[in-house]
Structure 1
Amino acid sequence: MRGARFTCYVGAFLARPRRFAVLARIAALVALGAILSPTRPARAQVAPYDSTALAALKWREIGIFRGGRSVAVAGSASRPNEYWMGTTGGGVFKTTDGGHTWLPVTDKYFGGTIGAIGVSESNPDVVYVGTGEYPIRGNVSHGDGVWKTTDGGKTWTHLGLEDTHQISRVRVHPSGPDTVWVGAQGHAFGPNADRGVYKTTDGGKTWRKLLFRNDSTGISDLVLDPSNSTVLYAAFWQAQRKPWQLISGGAGGGIFKSSDGGENWTELTHNSGLPTGLLGNIGLAVSPAKPARVWALIEADSGGVYRSDDGGATWRYVNGERKLRQRPWYYSRIFADPKDSNTVYALNVLAYKSTDGGATFRRLRDPHGDNHDMWIAANDPQRMIEGNDGGANVSTNGGKTWTDQDYATAQFYHVTTTNHFPYRVCGAQQDNSGVCGPSRWPGGIDRAQWYDVAGESGHIQARPDDPDITYGGDNSGFLARVDHKTGFWRSIDPWPDSPDGHPAGEGKYRFQWTAPLLISPHDPRVLYIGGNVVLKSVNEGQSWTPLSPDLTRHDPATLGVSGGPITSDQTTAEYYATIFALAESPLRKGLLWAGSDDGLVHVTRDGGKTWTDVTPRDVAPFTRVSIIEASHFAPGTAYLAANRYQLDDLAPYIYRTIDYGRSWIKIVKGIPATEFVRVVREDPTRRGLLYAGTERGVWVSFDDGASWQSLRLNLPIVPVHDLAVKEGDIVAATHGRSFWILDDISPLRQLARAIPRESVHLFKPRDAYRVDWGGGFGGGGSDAHPVGKNPPTGAMIYYWLKNKNQEVKLDILDAGGRL
């Protein structure tokens, strides 16, 4: 069936919200196809509906229009207003007006995390994109190789290298767009052979691997000599993520040079002046003003900025300041000014600039913290673009001022909704803040309508009986309560000690980066938070009581120093053996489920007095239990989403129990074998209707998980970290494209066996509202000042027809039967 949606506006705006009923009478109908298969009772497998059956449903982007992390930026010397931004989750964006307006250009082809962008200087319409960011955070997403456009981003072609996963650099030959070098970091979470330097001379039709170290060492940086494109420098980085640890540095690290376009390489690692011992992440730069001058920003025991003035033959240690090598695995980028051989930029938490050959660095006015990438125009050193944890910014005055970051590439970990009218959407944005904003607003949802709440990486919760009171979580178990009417803010941490700088095993409690926080559905004063134990508060966080023993494996091997062997990066981001998922049954008070990030599931049916290990038999150790959804229909029923991508296993895992966890059934049929799952939710009104968020979108099941089909529709290809069902809408928290809402899922709830046999079917409209907004809802905003979209004005009416090519007429009647 090709779905059709008809929207109508009924009556005038009222002075206050009021619900009204919509009656419809169908006079003549047009055939739009047929639904191919009906739903059946729960757990009886249903053949997927034809994709056109759901085509009338559309996701809408609501924002927040505030940027998220970008580690890949690029521009063109010949096009001063054209720049490219790679997001970490949301695909590629492009601006043609100097950074004032940014638009996504890859949504119809690919998305997700972007590691590198290479623009051809000889033909700037030719652009190569390497997917998979190389700063390998604990929740880093993987890419699918290299993509290419020859028309400035209108269309794209996939060029292979799928199993590289993380790509750090793409370099295009300055004289011809068909010759390209790619620096591949490789898998973040395990060994693989698709790493090193690759080259194509036919525009990506074929690739050759020219430089390889070993299956755990990849390329962290790759640069060309601007005066001689046959000269390349490559930096190797031995790195691997485990769920509880980052290994940054090893015997495979080093620097190499080629003088024949990459065909042959000479190792420079042991040349005079470079640090001895283990090397970690390395950034490289060649001075266009003095090509024999090469810079290296090196992670090592004696790390810092090194400089060679003879093409890498010898080196000198010029700066070891700690500010340039904080968390070196995450930064370690260095860039040379194209005109001045003594000017160089180093990126870290802050951005820095040296004008004395690297001896001293002063802070550059950066637009956002955590700086990752930079591109400087070869013909104008005042013109640059910089990538950071807030997105990308353009400067035309050497970094004195920058463009804004008003694009919707925010990375959210979770989503919750409030009981305001209209309801609000809340979540914690990576490296920014927790926010709440309206689900609709007159003229569009402007950035000004969003307001800060506590938290940055954790869960946000709003009291159901007083939604102006919110609770927000951050890493390390930090919590706060905020009364938004009075502005009163209060810390409600469950434990007073800060764990920063300590291994996970040293503290009394361990909390994940995004520790679960929930309000009891039975008492709005009761809060739960998951650490290594479940803690409960009955007074809004003023005091906390442990409710369980340690519900994790607490394997000592996973509780040690989280960084090494060079840098002990103990920020608590890698804290492990923690409760990652927590849920209380909406049907039975004191029935709680807890799932750990190391692969255990427990349930209590007596408010925490006793806990039972109910881990599914085929859930392997160290599997992350990401979400547990307690059923709205039966207290013994629950669903869990789990993943093992941090163990280099990309398979989806969703399970269902109907007997309090005594047995579980795996329910993933239809979801691709390499599309891992982060969330599963049950529809609260139709039993057996489930929704799942994966690394690439949203899926729906009409048969209690027996089969799944895509519900991505017009949603970009983006990691979906959480879903919420609110007032007949689905709200998606994406990790790279902010929040999206699928309005009015009445058709999903009403699809039934009899519908295909009917000559016509009108889906019962949900309740609609007339509201005095002083002008009503409008589109609002502009490309330069985008705002979140509103739903259609009036009632949304869905119908389908069996016969074709006839006129459709819908009469809307009031409650008295009058037109």
Structure 2
Amino acid sequence: MFYFSYLSSKKTILNAKLSGLIFLILFSNGILAQQPASPLVASFETYRKMKEETPFKLDWISLGPTVNSARADIVQLDETNPGTMYVGFGSGGVWKTTNHGVTWNSIFEEQSSVGIGDMELAPSNPNIIYLGTGENLKKPRNFTLPGTGMYRSDDAGETWKYIGLKDSWSIAEIEIHPTNPDIVFVAVLGHLWTKNENRGLYRTMNGGKSWEQVLYKNDVTGANEVQISPTNPQIMYASLWEVYPGISGENSGVYRSSDGGSSWEHSGNGLPSGPNIGRIGLTVSNTDPDKAYALIDNLNNARNEAAELYKTEDGGLTWNKTHKEPFKIFPGIGWYFTDVYVNPENDEEVFCLGVRLAHSKDGGKTFSFIGGEVTRMTPSLAQGLHLDQCELWINPTNPNHLALGNDGGFYVSYDKGLTWVHFNNIPTGEFYDITIDQANYTIYGGTQDDATVYGPAKELNTRFPDPWKYVWIDPWDGGDGCVTQIDPVDPSIIYYSRQHGDAMRLDKSTDEAVSIMPKLPERIKDTLVFNYMTPYFLSKYDHKTLYHGGNYLMKSTDRGDTWDAISPNLAKSSNPEKISFSTGDIAQSPLQKELLYAGTDHGAFWVSQDGGTSWEENSNGIANNYIRSISPSQHKTSRVYMAMTGINYDDLKAYVYVSEDFGKTWKSIVSNLPNEPVNVIREDPKNEEILYLGSMRGVYISIDRGKTWSFLGENIPSAAVADLEFHEPTMDLVVATHGRGIYKISLQPIYEMLEQNLSMEKDHFFEINPTPRPWYNSSGGEPDYRTIEKATFSFWLNQSKPLTISIFDESNQEVWKTDLTGNKGFNQFRWDLVVKKQSSDAPYFVHYERFLQTGNYTVKLSTGGKTLEQAFEVLEAKSPYLVRDGY
């Protein structure tokens, strides 16, 4: 491969004419145009086809929550219309509001990319938007989602066109020419976990029709930042970051162009160098093209002194550190931050993003921290400005107007950070794990830096306050929530965990929490280590027994007060390629108390059939990837299912297995699944033939134990599924996504179809659950829309056809009907019980909607002269004011 803009680590100035000539030669030969497509493109086509053709078109219901928000990586506002705002979540898509954040819409749906890297509005036309896919935070947690390239919208996000850079995988920054929206630069980090050549800085001069790689170092160094001078677009600055195999290296550095990006020279005089230079953020003055700032993660220093801010006033010929004292804004985790911004009207006023938001009024000599008072759209226990800052937007015409994205979500200030509005009304929670209290259908979930929350299995309605609450929250208004377990005997006892095995036991009756993090017994002279997401569970056989998975399997029989190691070091596989750091998942058989399983982050699978006294490694025939999910059968003791993901290793294939002999031999059951990472597999608790699986883009079902798979449900976005759990009393399946919150679906029609062995050649109308009518307040007699619950009519059609659903009262009078077209297979129609809508010009008119009265009804489903019937009961609703906190 030829590189027309190769730069060594030493100062090199390229000849722009020669560069352009080589570009024309290479482009005419098709070399530059032929990047390999991401494997996510092919798997997306399979996903899309399976979603379209599935017979399981049952409705997923969004449960939220919104109260704890999620990590916001992108913030963009239309300065000509400040009520129009955009916020992007790394794994939760891009959302837009046109009414100052009262309501939001997801605007980047059903695309081949799930992860979002960067997005930019064209300065000369805010309706033109460029979006780069692929998350750029290198987090080894199995949820750093790669992308498939660049997209463009010419209608403010209504529609999108794919415009290339197929092999980019991770896009860090987009910069658009201030007056020509067709000239765009894209900083491509590339593959985060492996080497690749299609990384560096790219430019298009024609709106994405073609691209040229204008700055490249080597196959381990990507581009992190590019900034164009607003007053002289010929001058620009860029940074490279050695992103593989670690987070720093000698190839990281700053570069400068004075000819519109055609040629570049290394700009390192005065900047730190050496083997441990990490991520570098840049900004350039809005009035002086020769004045710029560089925020550097200099890991040659002590970890807590890695942050350094430098300034140039001569166009990058020389740089000087702005501060004498250590700048402690990202102790050892600068890979997460290092963005720097300058006030458009005062280039001595600088903002630096780290754990906190740093602010300088004297060009970086001294700093203060911006906090301010925060008002939340959804009130919660959180009080301040969340930590871990990801992106800042400063209004070019009013620098007091700020928009900030961080791990806690999206914030807007109109007084330069004295006060903020937190828009925690968007359902984009990045969940790791969920647990269901079977007794009262309360759902508990741990999230990425937004703590652990709990709430009811009620449909999301963003018109009203979110009913979800925090189980716990740290002093900085967040914290990583991982696994939660509820004591089935004493539900006031809640076990929860944070990153790296930090486990806690909470007694809600006294509001006291104690640490129960395991330690190795003194007899074992080794170090106990945990993966970031540490598996643990409460034994179903004894509510006081806990298992906790590090590189050793730890067990407690006294609720976590004391622990013992019941395994050898499970990271030490007999296969050198499977030597691991720690366990990825652990499990206990629901049929045999002594049967334990453990799987590691590099594909070592262990089994003990005697409660941990002896262990056998059964790792043959499976990949060397992260074992994310172990599901022992609930129907046959020797059967176990397992799913692993390779996303931490840039392996984007599907890995799903079953063993009938405790893992001695394995069989792949990937079958017709999209070839994309799988996070979780579960066996149905009632029917051994049914399996459920959560992948990078959704949920799949098999009714023949993995021989064939179908996409499950409708109305669920393309999102990474982190966990699946059953609420057995209602036959609901609840899923946690890493980016779009929590959803539920009723499995009742599937059970009814299979248990009664109903023919697929005939139409069927399934049993209807009783539905409460909205509660009417006693003073005004108006419905409380917070209490609306929809009736669900489920049916099977032998082919796609038009149909009519009619409601008849006890006197056989028709009170309501609707016409629709059903699909072949399972269908659902969800109805809000509104039988009449009306309006009036009377000044005090109410009763715009009339709801079905309480009582017993008959629902008739008519198709082509045939009618099927089901009984339907409408219940009296309970007052929301009488419902207690326990849901």
TM-score with structure 2 setting the length = 0.77
2:308 to 299, 304, 307: 304
Tell me, yes or no, if structure 1 residue 483 matches structure 2 residue 507: yes
Contact 2:284/2:291 (<8 A) preserved:
yes
**Residues 67 and 409, structure 1, Cα contact 8 Å, conserved in 2:** yes
Number of positions where the alignment pairs a residue of Structure 1 with one of Structure 2: 727
Q: Which residue of the partner structure matches residue 334 of structure 2?
A: 328
Counterpart position of 1:294: 292
CA contact (8 A) 2:58 2:745 kept: no
Kindly provide the amino acid, as one letter, of the partner of residue 127 in structure 1.
I
1-structure distance, mates of 2:541, 2:660: 22
CA contact (8 A) 1:200 1:208 kept: yes
Residue 743 of structure 1 is aligned with which of 746, 749, 766? 746
Aligned to 2:596: 592
Residue 533 (structure 1) aligned to one of 534, 539, 552: 552
State yes or no: 1:463 paired with 2:487.
yes
Corresponding position: 1:658 with 2:664: no
SS in 1 for 2:537: strand
Q: Which of 596, 619, 626 lines up with 2:623 in the alignment?
A: 619
Query: Aligned partner of 1:129: which letter?
Result: L
Structure 1: how far apart are the matches of 2:52 and 2:465?
A: 36
C-alpha displacement at 1:240, in angstroms?
2.1
Instruction: Write the distance in 2 (CA, Å) between the matches of 1:221 and 1:803.
Output: 52
Question: How do 1:353-752 residues align onto structure 2 when only pairs under 5 Å count?
Answer: 353-365=359-371, 367-406=385-424, 407-421=426-440, 423-440=441-458, 446-453=465-472, 456-495=480-519, 508-553=527-572, 577-620=581-624, 623-673=625-675, 675-711=676-712, 713-727=714-728, 728-747=731-750, 750-751=753-754
Distance 2:356 2:547 in 1: 36
1:73 aligns with 2:78: no
Bigger drift between 549-558 and 50-59 goes to 549-558
| Structure 1 residue 681 displacement after superposition | 0.9
- What is the DSSP-based 3-state SS (H/G/I as helix, E as strand, rest coil) of the residue aligned with 2:401? strand
Q: TM-score normalized by structure 1?
A: 0.83
In 2: Cα distance, 1:349 partner to 1:554 partner = 37
Amino acid at match of 1:333: D
Q: Map Cα deviations across residues 67-91 of structure 1 (whole Å, 9 max, x no partner).
A: 2112222223322222221101111
Q: Deviations over 1:88-140 (max 9, x none)?
A: 11110112233444332112436632221110122211111111222211222
State the Cα distance separating 1:477 from its structure 2 match: 2.1
SS at structure 2 position matched to 1:194: coil
Q: 1:314 aligns to what SS in structure 2? A: coil
Q: Give 2:263's aligned residue.
A: 264
Q: Is the 8 A contact 1:92 1:111 kept in 2?
A: no
Cα pair 1:99 1:403 within 8 Å, conserved: no
Q: Structure 1 residues 113, 538: CA separation in 2 closer, same or farther (over 3 Å shift)? A: same
Per-residue deviation at 1:205? 2.0
The aligned counterpart of 2:195 is: 191
- On the 8 A contact 2:50/2:711 being kept in 1, the answer is no
Spell out the pairing of 1:309-320 with structure 2 (5 A cutoff). Answer: 309-319=313-323
Kept in 2: contact 1:581–1:594 (CA 8 A): yes
Moved more, 547-556 or 368-377: 547-556
What residue in structure 1 maps to residue 85 of structure 2?
83
Residue 133 of structure 1 is matched in structure 2 by 135
Bigger shift: 745-754 or 427-436? 745-754
- Distance in 2 (CA, whole Å) between partners of 1:316 and 1:600 is 50
Q: Is the 8 A contact 1:77 1:121 kept in 2?
A: no
The one-letter code matched in structure 2 to 1:388 is N
Q: Which amino acid aligns with 1:641?
A: A
- Give how far 1:476 is off: 3.0
SS at 2:125 equivalent? coil
Q: Which consecutive residues of structure 2, in runs of 5 or more, have no partner in the other structure?
A: 1-48, 302-306, 373-384, 474-478, 805-861, 874-887
Q: Encode CA deviations 1:328-384: one digit per residue, 9 max, x unaligned.
A: 111111101100121000010000110011100100126210002111121111122
Q: More displaced, 297-306 or 645-654? A: 297-306
Q: Higher relative contact order at CA 8 Å, sep ≥6: structure 1 or structure 2?
A: 1
The 2-side partners of 1:275 and 1:294 are apart by: 16
The Cα shift of 1:600 comes to 0.9
Q: Distance in 2 between matches of 1:595 and 1:791?
A: 42
Query: Are residue 280 (structure 1) and residue 278 (structure 2) matched?
Result: yes
Q: Within 2, Cα distance between the matches of 1:250 and 1:628?
A: 37
1:94 aligns with 2:82: no
Equivalent position amino acid for 1:431 in 2: D
* C-alpha displacement of 1:775: 7.4
How many percent of aligned residue pairs carry the same amino acid? 31
CA distance in 2 between counterparts of 1:652 and 1:790 reads: 40
- SS at 1:125 equivalent: strand
8 Å Cα contact 2:438-2:727 kept in structure 1 = no
Task: Call closer, same or farther: CA 1:286–1:557 in 2, change over 3 Å.
Answer: farther
Query: Aligned pair in 2 of structure 1 residues 704, 768: CA closer, same or farther (>3 Å)?
Result: farther
Long gaps (5+) in structure 1: 1-46, 242-246, 498-504, 560-574, 782-788
Amino acid at match of 1:354: S
Q: Does 1:229 align with 2:247?
A: no
Aligned match of 1:25: none
Aligned AA (1:429): T
CA distance in structure 2 between the partners assigned to 1:706 and 1:288 by the alignment: 61
SS of match in other structure, 2:500: helix
Any conservation in 1 of the 2:283–2:340 contact (CA below 8 Å)? Answer: yes
CA 1:219/1:443 → structure 2, altered by over 3 Å: closer, same or farther?
closer
Q: Distance in 1 between matches of 2:793 and 2:489?
A: 29
Equivalent of 2:176 in 161, 172, 175: 172
Q: Deviations over 1:578-630 (max 9, x none)?
A: 1211111111112111111122111112211221111242323xx21111001
Q: Could you tell me which residue of structure 1 aligns to residue 304 of structure 2?
A: none
Aligned CA distance change for structure 1 residues 587 and 64 (closer, same or farther; 3 Å)? farther
Query: Superposition RMSD on alpha carbons, in Å?
Result: 3.1
The within-5 A match list for 1:137-176 is 137-139=139-141, 140-176=144-180
Call closer, same or farther: CA 1:81–1:758 in 2, change over 3 Å.
closer
Q: Distance in 2 between matches of 1:442 and 1:155?
A: 26
SS of corresponding position for 2:694: strand
